[in-house]
Structure 1
Amino acid sequence: MDQFDRIFQLHRLLASRRATGVSFDDLLETLRQHDHKQTPSTLKRTLRYMRERLQAPLVHDRERGGYRYDGEAAYELPGLWFTAQELAALLILQEVLERHPLGLLSEALTPFRAKLERLLERSDTGLPGWRSRLRLLRMAARPIGSQFTVVASALARRQRLRIDYHARSDDRMAPRIVSPQRLTLYRDNWYLDAWCHTREALRIFALDRIIAAEAVAQPAQDIPELQLDQSLATSYGIFSGEPTALAVLRFSARAARWIAAETWHPQQQDTPHEDGGLTRRLPYHRSEELIMDLLRHGADVEILEPPELRQALIARLRAALASYGPADAVDTQEERPSPERQAARLRSAI
């Protein structure tokens, strides 16, 4: 539990008990509910910091039973205390405004950004020089495409869309009539979850592959959220469809140091091993994305089940190896020198 969390928890309790006060023991118990290692000394230092650095009107009132905020006006923490999520949101906001400097959204957000920047520059609660201290890396992000505004407008107005969709899977262009359900940001790329009236099924469309889009003068067909989640959010990755198989993956001790802290699927089940390795079980429907994620772990992962997923990965590995000729092969066994070469080495060493 860091100092930010301690101050936030104490402030919330003190602000809610202005009339009665809070005993030292109650304050300590509040901290220990979040971290049992908190000590009386830590609490005393935190209270002193609140008084001296944050100018909190903190007094000890025996008649009211302990510590309280003095004065009639409500006290608020100065500045803005940023969490990791808030800092990430600020970076995304900064990126959006820099990419799209003109427009109604930019005009509305620019004053908000200026206020955030002033707060971040504070030495007591911010992060001075934050532009050089934070960065946002997007290694696989694709352009958002030209139809985002049309799609988002139809989604908000609950209208159907006529789209021209260029699928990467078969490199074909196809017209579709869809009822937009929701926009999804997945791995730094935007997707449209929609009911496809052409196929009479739920489909996921990559926004950057929607080449043209226009609203249709018909109301969108609403799909219940539970049905959306069952069809689009229960399998591994971005592919739609309810799970049809369970992958059993065995990671080495080296890979497990990272994998154990990663959430690949809400329903994943992990079994640690004595050697430090890890077995992970997770449901999936289509295997393409799962195989791509497993390939980056190379020899540090083995597919135990099901056999068809194991064979699919083996086929991809063989295809990759076939792309390299015999001259690229590396002999991992150390070559044993011949007697003649050993004698030559001895002569050169004398």
Structure 2
Amino acid sequence: MDRFDRIFELNRILQAARYPVSRQQLERELECSRATVKRLIEEMRLYLNAPIVYDRKLNGYRYDPREGEMYELPGLWFNASELHALLAVQQLLERVQPGLLESHLQPLRRKIDDLLARQQGDTGESLSNRIRLIRATARPTSPFFTLLAGCLAARRRLHLVYYNRARDMLSEREVSPQRLTHYRDNWYLDAWCHLREGLRTFALDAIRQAWQLDQVAQNVEEAVLERHFTDAYGIFSGQAKELAVVRFSANAARWVATEEWHPRQQSRWLGDGRYELTLPYSDPSELLMDLLKYGPDVEVVSPPELRSQVQQRLRSALDIYNP
């Protein structure tokens, strides 16, 4: 546990205890040394105005009962993931229209508002007004989301009319939904396609029509789904067929070196300050888009096919600006 975790846990222990808590018990429950326990108690007394007293007769610590109301910790900052989760849920709930779940969601709204309010102190201003969550390249929510989620839960097959952007054409297919995926601010359906006899990913905003079928959906084991959908780079699924070796300039490396592009990436610093990444991929489409935004700050070393595709994209872009 880190320092904040131990402060919260110490507060919980003292609030729940009917009798003074010994130092030895605090060491066990907080998983720390005698010195750490003493330091935490002193910090809470000094900086958080916690009325912790030592009862010599019962040889333990407790909150001073003479303080009246039960002591509560003042606002302590959330960590980054907690704050993002709270604000994201708050914003999502604000967009939910009144409906079947309204009575269930209202207590959750109030709880999140209360948690965020604890961080604003005495300013009277909402913390959410000082923090922005920006959605990038998000596409419209699919009108079929509820239907897809229902079929996923009921384990029923779907009939889809799907628009393939790359080929600019519609196709019809029967699928067994496996899971919904939220990726880069957009929703996707991972499903077993009975037309192609394999796993496929469908962008929800590209589904033109959908209806539930009576047939039971075909199940795919979780381990198989994980291998298929996480082996290669990005949203494009399938077994990784190639390894891309790319080198970023010393300038771009300051940012790229702190990023995770893929769970199985390999990286190294080069002698001249450049940064090299090795990434597994299947379909190069998304990888190309992510690399091209770095312009002259990235070089594809291998494989030759990927390097050639980058060269062709750059030439085509340059042709637009040449007379």
- TM-score scaled to structure 1, two decimals? 0.78
Deviation at 1:258, TM superposition (A): 0.8
Asked if 1:122 corresponds to 2:118, the answer is yes
Q: 2:316 aligns with which of 316, 319, 323?
A: 319
Residue in 2 that maps onto 1:36: none
Query: Cα–Cα, structure 1 residues 216 and 273, in superposed 2: closer, same or farther, change >3 Å?
Result: same
Runs of 4 or more off by more than 6 Å in structure 1?
A: 12-18, 23-29, 62-65, 124-127
**Distance across 2 between alignment mates of 1:213 and 1:95:** 28
Asked if 1:278 corresponds to 2:275, the answer is yes
Deviation at 1:125, TM superposition (A): 7.5
- CA displacement 1:108-163 (0-9 Å, x = unmatched): 22321122213322358899521211111012111121100000000011111111
**Distance across 1 between alignment mates of 2:183 and 2:283:** 17
Residue in 1 that maps onto 2:105: 109
**Distance across 1 between alignment mates of 2:88 and 2:30:** 37
**Distance across 1 between alignment mates of 2:9 and 2:220:** 41
**Distance across 2 between alignment mates of 1:261 and 1:160:** 42
Answer whether contact 2:53 2:64 (CA < 8 A) is retained: no
**Distance across 1 between alignment mates of 2:14 and 2:246:** 49
Read off the aligned partner of 1:195 and give its amino acid letter.
W
**Distance across 1 between alignment mates of 2:122 and 2:185:** 27
Residue in 1 that maps onto 2:90: 94
- CA displacement 1:92-117 (0-9 Å, x = unmatched): 22332333322234442232112221
The farther-off stretch of 119-128 and 101-110 is: 119-128
- TM-score scaled to structure 2, two decimals? 0.84
Aligned length, in residue pairs: 317
Residue in 1 that maps onto 2:140: 143
Deviation at 1:61, TM superposition (A): 5.7
Q: 2:226 aligns with which of 226, 229, 234?
A: 229
**Distance across 1 between alignment mates of 2:6 and 2:273:** 34
**Distance across 1 between alignment mates of 2:278 and 2:141:** 33
Deviation at 1:305, TM superposition (A): 1.1
Answer whether contact 1:237 1:289 (CA < 8 A) is retained: yes
Answer whether contact 1:244 1:285 (CA < 8 A) is retained: yes
Answer whether contact 2:90 2:112 (CA < 8 A) is retained: no
Query: Cα–Cα, structure 1 residues 201 and 64, in superposed 2: closer, same or farther, change >3 Å?
Result: farther
Answer whether contact 1:81 1:126 (CA < 8 A) is retained: no
Answer whether contact 1:14 1:22 (CA < 8 A) is retained: no
- CA displacement 1:281-318 (0-9 Å, x = unmatched): 11001111001000111111111111111111011000
Read off the aligned partner of 2:160 and give its amino acid letter.
I
Query: Cα–Cα, structure 1 residues 196 and 25, in superposed 2: closer, same or farther, change >3 Å?
Result: closer
Residue in 2 that maps onto 1:162: 159
Asked if 1:243 corresponds to 2:240, the answer is yes
**Distance across 2 between alignment mates of 1:117 and 1:49:** 28
Deviation at 1:78, TM superposition (A): 6.4
Unpaired runs of 5+ residues, structure 2, are none
Asked if 1:263 corresponds to 2:260, the answer is yes
- Is the partner of 2:321 in helix, strand or coil? coil
**Distance across 1 between alignment mates of 2:314 and 2:32:** 54
Query: Cα–Cα, structure 1 residues 68 and 276, in superposed 2: closer, same or farther, change >3 Å?
Result: farther
Q: 1:82 aligns with which of 78, 85, 94?
A: 78
Answer whether contact 1:155 1:182 (CA < 8 A) is retained: yes
Query: Cα–Cα, structure 1 residues 106 and 264, in superposed 2: closer, same or farther, change >3 Å?
Result: farther
**Distance across 1 between alignment mates of 2:205 and 2:110:** 31
Unpaired runs of 5+ residues, structure 1, are 32-38, 327-350
Residue in 1 that maps onto 2:291: 294
The farther-off stretch of 83-92 and 155-164 is: 83-92
Residue in 1 that maps onto 2:198: 201
**Distance across 2 between alignment mates of 1:27 and 1:141:** 45
Answer whether contact 1:268 1:283 (CA < 8 A) is retained: yes
Residue in 2 that maps onto 1:218: 215
The farther-off stretch of 87-96 and 203-212 is: 87-96
**Distance across 1 between alignment mates of 2:56 and 2:313:** 73
**Distance across 1 between alignment mates of 2:15 and 2:272:** 50
Query: Cα–Cα, structure 1 residues 298 and 24, in superposed 2: closer, same or farther, change >3 Å?
Result: same
- CA displacement 1:178-235 (0-9 Å, x = unmatched): 1100010010100000001111110000011112211111111110011111111110
**Distance across 2 between alignment mates of 1:23 and 1:99:** 47
